[in-house]
Chains A and B, each alone.
Chain A
Amino acid sequence: MDLKPIISLTLVIVSLLFSQTVLAGDAERRQAKRIHDRLVGVTASNAVIDAMEQLLLGNSVGPYAGDTSGKTAAAYAIDTAQNPNARYFYNVTLKNFATPWTNEEQTVFADLNDYSATVVGAVRDGLDFRRILYDDLLYIGSAGGVPAYANGNNNHYAQLEALGPVAGDLSNPSILRGPNQGITQSAITGLPSTATAGIMTSRAASMAYFSDGTNRAMFRFTLMNHMCTDLEPIKDVSRIPDRVRRDVSRSPGGDSRIFLNNCVGCHAGMDGMAGAFAYYEWSYTNDKTDGSLVYTPGTVSNKHNINPDNFEHGYITVDDSWINYWRNGQNWLLGWGPAVNPDSKGNERGNGAKSLGQELANSTAFAQCQVDKVFEAVCLRDPNVQSTDRAERDTIRDAFRGAYGYNLREVFTDVAAYCKGS
């Protein structure tokens, strides 16, 4: 007898029952379950639900003091010392939170890599999250049978992930090792420390955004992933276009209105900043997944001066200097941090990816973007729609920049508490 039809029918009936029945009951227990579900991603044991319920009722549990807001209960849920399933917060929730940022297709079905592992580690260790854009930062695995980190492939991380959430537990500092264990990106990859820029110079990001093209992809995708905006919404045609390169046609299809009304709106700002990547290139022969990052200090990669005849009077990239013209005009609203090396107009200037990473990471947009992403992951909705959500987001953002010292774990617990339901 084939079981599948009967099981499927029963499964549907059970599903109907679950989805239709809403009874009054113990609010804190429901809130505990939701907080756990949203953060950890898997069901909680009764013991953990009990403990979180007590915390939500204001009662202390072990080292955790009671807190009716839910923040402490959330912290408890992702504490591997308290909750055996907390490892899934790191191995599933955080990993999949970061994975789409690591590839151009924005797919979640990508292997663990040095970019996503570094994000997981940075959250786990409560690092200043800005460091992911500029620091000599990298997390690597340490587990039996996993090959060493290699500049030329991702086997190290793919096999670490294949070990599963126990043998390859990313929540375990002895398995996923980072700065607290003395690991630096420069020591592992051989890239000069001054050339490191957190995840921007990770192998995964380099392969995705430095391969082929013009390296503008690194700027655009960093903008999308960590400033939560694509170029189109921040287009400003009034910026100074003196850094727009020669490969940008000023008359696409013979119509310069397109350039003056559209193209220059992005390129004036983007080309000004993307010059920071002038010395980076993803080198490969046939399959780019087998390539590696090449850094050539003092030598601009050919791609920066490609197609010079499209507009021979355009900017010639001669070094890795950058300038942020978006500190003026409409994009001052991105909330740039204090300028370190501004020109007379307040446009910040620098050289290389590291200083550009700092420029981006110190903006309000960066902080707000991190909170927005967490909000969407935990509350399952956009925080920019309802005024109450916006206000809460702003509060958490300000705390993230202030009291939390850019610790993203705090944002996760804040947001989970806010969305714990009633």
Chain B
Amino acid sequence: MSAKRLPQWIVIAVLAVFSAACDTGGSNTVANPNLGGDDGGYNGPAARTEDIRSFQLNFWTFLKEDNRCGQCHGSGQTPTFVDLSDVNAAYSVAIQYVSLIDPASSQIVAKAATGHHCWLGQSAGAACASNIEQMIINWATDSNVTSGRQIQLTPPTIKSPGDAKSFPASATDNAPDSFANRVHPILVANCQGCHTETAQPLPIAPFFASNDVDSAYEAAKPKMDIDTPANSRFVVRLGAEFHNCWTSDCGTLPNPSPTSDAGVMLQAITDFAGAIAPTPVDPLLVTSMALNLGDGIVAAGGNRHEANLVALWEFRTGSGNQAFDTSGIDPSITLQLNGSYQWLGGYGLDLANGWAFANNFDSEKLKTFIESTGEYAIEAWVVAANVTQEDASILGYTGGSARNFTLEQNMYDFRFYNRIDDPNPQSLNGEPFYTTGDSGEELVQSSLQHVVANYDPINGRSVYVNGQLVAAADPVTGPTTIGNVVWDDNFAFVLGADAAGSNDWDGQVRLVAIHNRVLTQPQILQNFDVGVGQKFYLLFYVGHRIGIPDSYILFEVSQFDSYSYLFNEPRFINLDPAWTPGGFAIQNMRIGINGKEALAGQAFANIDVTVNATNYNAATGQLLSPLGTIIALEKGSASDEFFLTFELIGTASHTFVDPQPGAPAPPADPPNPVASDIGMRTFEEINSTIAAITGVPTTNAAIESVYADYVQQLPTVEAIDAFLPSHQMAIAQLALTSCSELVEDRGNIARTAYFPTFDFNANAQDAFDTAGERALVVDPILTAVMNVDQLQPANNLTTQPTEAEITNVLGAMTPQDLDPALAGDSYDSLITQLLVGGPNDATRTRQIVKAVCAAATGAAVMIVQ
């Protein structure tokens, strides 16, 4: 084994994963395409033209196999479009059934879509069709056939907006004929083996059999057709596809017996739907004619650049546990879905705690093709579920925690690992990784993003997000190579995690493509501009409103995600190319769905456009708004019916009435007061109050310093119940400092003016040995702190303690009783206590004055307001 091989345990782990994949029904493998240039054993006449050669390489080679079309249409059964003996003869037949201009409209694609001998399985017709469509695209690309396709606008069937049913808001509405009563019990009883979050061994989405009826209801809505219950997916799945029937009698559509499984389900949905009253269309509305999404004209996806496509997943299947590689390049790398995943409406896969992996044999196609060129590009349309996930593997060609390549999300950054031929063992694991974070930008957003990761030997790694090159350098400099032996063919291609199922990535993936050439910026922009998902052109007929036949409002519509439709760039157009407008107004257009105007998303409700000859173009019509908007999906893309309303179109008008709710009733008074009548002073009020009491300004250097240290420890709100011990400590510091500055004569008021006749030079025992001397200190402080009126005690505020009470606490000569009702609570006043034990000098005298001052100043009477 080469020194660059991975440890054996990793290989074993990978193989175990693959083994599990095979057990769960992965597609059979086929031999890798022969890239040796010998045409896979074909010995017939050489292709006579470049186009035929392109046909041979991109189409014939893949479909001639026995397990594809070659078994029948290679010889004998007409049409022999993969004639095994003569590629030129095959071409002349095949060209009748394909459209190189519009591959999607090819007859052969339509036939495959029916499931006609689909090599991926009968129910995977869509995937086979996509595969063949891609082969034709590749053929057309090699033949330099560019799509000059103009959308051919053909009038839809005219139908009026009908009264329509909408799903009730709640699973329990319309009881007893509610979803909860009629349908949910059947699902719980018979589908919980798979379709619930806790199913063992493998939960299979959607979880419409969940015990939580509300979540089950949301999951079940797309499976029920409340207009035509027999068309419900729940019924069809049983009565036509015989999917996991719970009795021996599945029932047979269109008329299953009432006791059959399909019959029971049909009756339940019929009962549920029967209780739903249709929403009538307001007859006063000025409406267009109505359309369903399926009435639209499919818009070609545009020309993606796929000349060097190796693998492509578009996630069109919409159900099941496999995602098919529709690149048309064999072998198809079919992905097995695992964990909690959900198919998206409008194509895509939601990998919330789910992942998808291929087996290593199919995955080897990536190694083979990429090693043949030495360069590659990873292209993906993704929606990150959040921007908090770290080391989350969006996709990778990995084994265990090792890798050939990985595209990863790390919060706001994309990381790109690429295994290169390098003596540094780190390089074998794709490290050091490239990160978009080096650009200084936070690029990952929780919205749909187009990401391309390029690698080539000369330029190394680069990443493009939404068509823009990220300005971050590859940490590996100089020429590198992925060589011919570096990449490990035991690895597997995995979406949403690494091959060990770890480094889980949560998000949605709408498309993934692997190319074996880098994509240039124009090519990336080309693919970015094409977008992702299927688009339709909807022609809403308005001729009956303006009296001009063939008149329509044209919208580009697509299913935006699983929950909404995108309505984009409305324009007025008349399908008669000779028509020219004389001038009429269109104002305030709204989108209706299922009989009513949508509540949210009415971005065209403010337009005011005059259709006239100046702005009208016979080919493209006249743009009404450059905007797009999203409208909530209700019943599903197959059932929702759309129409437009206008406040004015031509001479027809109807004024939209915007409901204006009245003022809500005032709340009742709470039974008890909810706020205290008093509160605290806040930080700067406290500082200023102490300054006002002591006469020491807030600009005093010592005060400034203490205040700066403690300001954030002081109260910031007045609420009295928010008082904390830390507040008191900060207040004490401020009070002590201020009083110290006052007594040391560094305030605005001289201490002898503040405390007239008090002898600051006496020693402590002498300075405080009489009640009168003590009063010289206490009285001025109490006047400043609590407005004590020494001359007229009757003026003292009665919401405060009496002067005598405070005076006694601070300076009484005799022991005091804190509470007469209590025993043993006798205490000495502050001055008395401070005279015990300390030095008997003038310094002590000043300390005692400071203490009396601080005790009063820092008390509740100062704090409370």
Are A and B interaction partners? Answer: yes
Which residues of the partner chain B approach A260 to less than 8 Å between Cβ atoms? Answer: 563-564, 600-601, 630, 632
Bound-state Cα–Cα, A255 to B789, Å = 71
Beyond A19-B864, A165-B698, list 9 extra A-B contacts (CB 8 Å).
A3-B851, A10-B810, A25-B797, A167-B699, A242-B625, A253-B385, A257-B563, A260-B564, A329-B658
B681 lies within 8 A of A6 (CB): no
B683 within 8 A of partner (CB): yes
Within 8 A of B (CB), among A163-182: 163-167
Please give me the 7 A-B residue pairs with the lowest Cβ-Cβ distance, nearest first.
Answer: A25-B798, A313-B628, A249-B447, A381-B675, A164-B699, A41-B685, A37-B865
Bound-state Cα–Cα, A307 to B446, Å = 12
A403 within 8 A of partner (CB): no
Contact indicator per residue, chain B 472-509, by CB within 8 Å of chain A (1) or not (0): 00000000000000000000000000000000000110
Which residue of B is nearest A22, CB measured?
Answer: B799
A1 lies within 8 A of B838 (CB): yes
- Known: A41-B681, A241-B601. Contact between A313 and B563, CB under 8 A? no
B861 lies within 8 A of A13 (CB): no
Q: How many Å from the CB of A347 to the closest CB on chain B?
A: 8
Contact indicator per residue, chain B 394-428, by CB within 8 Å of chain A (1) or not (0): 00000000000000000000000000000000000
| Partner of A14 from B385, B718, B719, B855 at Cβ < 8 Å | B855
21 sampled A-B residue pairs with Cβ under 8 A: A1-B834, A7-B830, A8-B732, A11-B728, A23-B802, A25-B797, A33-B797, A33-B799, A41-B685, A41-B688, A42-B692, A43-B689, A43-B784, A43-B785, A95-B684, A240-B605, A241-B602, A309-B449, A310-B447, A311-B628, A313-B566
A10 lies within 8 A of B809 (CB): yes
A21 lies within 8 A of B859 (CB): no
A51 within 8 A of partner (CB): no
Which residues of the partner chain B approach A49 to less than 8 Å between Cβ atoms? Answer: 787
B344 within 8 A of partner (CB): yes
Which residue of A is nearest B861, CB measured?
Answer: A18
B679 lies within 8 A of A380 (CB): yes
Bound-state Cα–Cα, A261 to B626, Å = 24
B862 within 8 A of partner (CB): yes
Q: Residues of A within 8 Å of B, CB-based: how many? A: 93
B121 within 8 A of partner (CB): no
Which residues of the partner chain A approach B688 to less than 8 Å between Cβ atoms? Answer: 41-42, 88, 91-92, 165
Number of A-B residue pairs with CB-CB distance less than 8 Å in the complex they form: 282
Which residues of the partner chain A approach B678 to less than 8 Å between Cβ atoms? Answer: 380
A13 lies within 8 A of B809 (CB): yes
Stretch in A197-205, A297-305, A382-390 with 4+ CB within 8 Å of B = A382-390
Which residues of the partner chain A approach B507 to less than 8 Å between Cβ atoms? Answer: 253-254
Which residues of the partner chain A approach B785 to less than 8 Å between Cβ atoms? Answer: 43
Within 8 A of A (CB), among B686-714: 688-689, 691-693, 697-699, 711-712
Within 8 A of A (CB), among B778-827: 783-787, 789, 794-802, 805-806, 809-810, 818, 827
- Known: A43-B689, A329-B660, A380-B719. Contact between A310 and B445, CB under 8 A? yes
Within 8 A of B (CB), among A333-385: 333, 343, 345, 380-382, 385
Which residues of the partner chain A approach B568 to less than 8 Å between Cβ atoms? Answer: 313
Which residues of the partner chain B approach A166 to less than 8 Å between Cβ atoms? Answer: 697, 699
| Partner of A29 from B691, B797, B805, B861 at Cβ < 8 Å | B797
Bound-state Cα–Cα, A361 to B834, Å = 60
B319 within 8 A of partner (CB): no
B663 within 8 A of partner (CB): yes
Within 8 A of A (CB), among B586-605: 599-605
- Known: A6-B833, A14-B806, A42-B685. Contact between A387 and B666, CB under 8 A? yes
Q: How many Å from the CB of A46 to the closest CB on chain B?
A: 5
Which residue of A is nearest B446, CB measured?
Answer: A253
Q: How many Å from the CB of B385 to the closest CB on chain A?
A: 5
A249 lies within 8 A of B446 (CB): yes
B761 within 8 A of partner (CB): no
Q: How many Å from the CB of A421 to the closest CB on chain B?
A: 7
Q: How many Å from the CB of A167 to the closest CB on chain B?
A: 8
**Which residue numbers of B lie inside 8 Å of A, CB to CB?**
344, 348, 350, 383-386, 445-450, 466-467, 507-508, 560-564, 566, 568-569, 599-606, 625-630, 632, 658-661, 663, 666-667, 669-670, 673-679, 681-685, 688-689, 691-693, 697-699, 711-712, 716, 718-719, 728, 732, 736, 783-787, 789, 794-802, 805-806, 809-810, 818, 827, 830, 833-834, 837-838, 847, 850-851, 854-856, 858-862, 864-865
Which residue of B is nearest A382, CB measured?
Answer: B675
A43 lies within 8 A of B692 (CB): yes
Contact indicator per residue, chain A 95-115, by CB within 8 Å of chain B (1) or not (0): 110000000000011000000
Which residues of the partner chain B approach A60 to less than 8 Å between Cβ atoms? Answer: none
Which residue of B is nearest A167, CB measured?
Answer: B699
A14 lies within 8 A of B809 (CB): yes
Which residues of the partner chain A approach B809 to less than 8 Å between Cβ atoms? Answer: 10, 13-14, 17
A242 lies within 8 A of B383 (CB): no
**Which residue numbers of A lie inside 8 Å of B, CB to CB?**
1, 3-4, 6-8, 10-11, 13-15, 17-26, 29-30, 33-34, 37-38, 41-46, 49-50, 85, 88, 91-93, 95-96, 108-109, 162-167, 237-238, 240-242, 244, 249-257, 259-261, 264, 307, 309-316, 328-330, 332-333, 343, 345, 380-382, 385-387, 390, 421
Which residues of the partner chain B approach A19 to less than 8 Å between Cβ atoms? Answer: 860, 864
Which residues of the partner chain A approach B448 to less than 8 Å between Cβ atoms? Answer: 249, 251, 254
Which residues of the partner chain A approach B385 to less than 8 Å between Cβ atoms? Answer: 253-254
Which residue of B is nearest A53, CB measured?
Answer: B795
Which residue of B is nearest A84, CB measured?
Answer: B692
B732 lies within 8 A of A309 (CB): no
Bound-state Cα–Cα, A383 to B131, Å = 69
Which residue of A is nearest B529, CB measured?
Answer: A312
| Partner of A332 from B660, B681, B854 at Cβ < 8 Å | B660
Which residues of the partner chain A approach B675 to less than 8 Å between Cβ atoms? Answer: 380-382, 385
Bound-state Cα–Cα, A358 to B658, Å = 25
| Partner of B860 from A14, A37, A167, A390 at Cβ < 8 Å | A14
A250 lies within 8 A of B564 (CB): yes
Bound-state Cα–Cα, A217 to B667, Å = 31
A252 lies within 8 A of B676 (CB): no
Bound-state Cα–Cα, A237 to B564, Å = 15
Which residues of the partner chain B approach A38 to less than 8 Å between Cβ atoms? Answer: 865
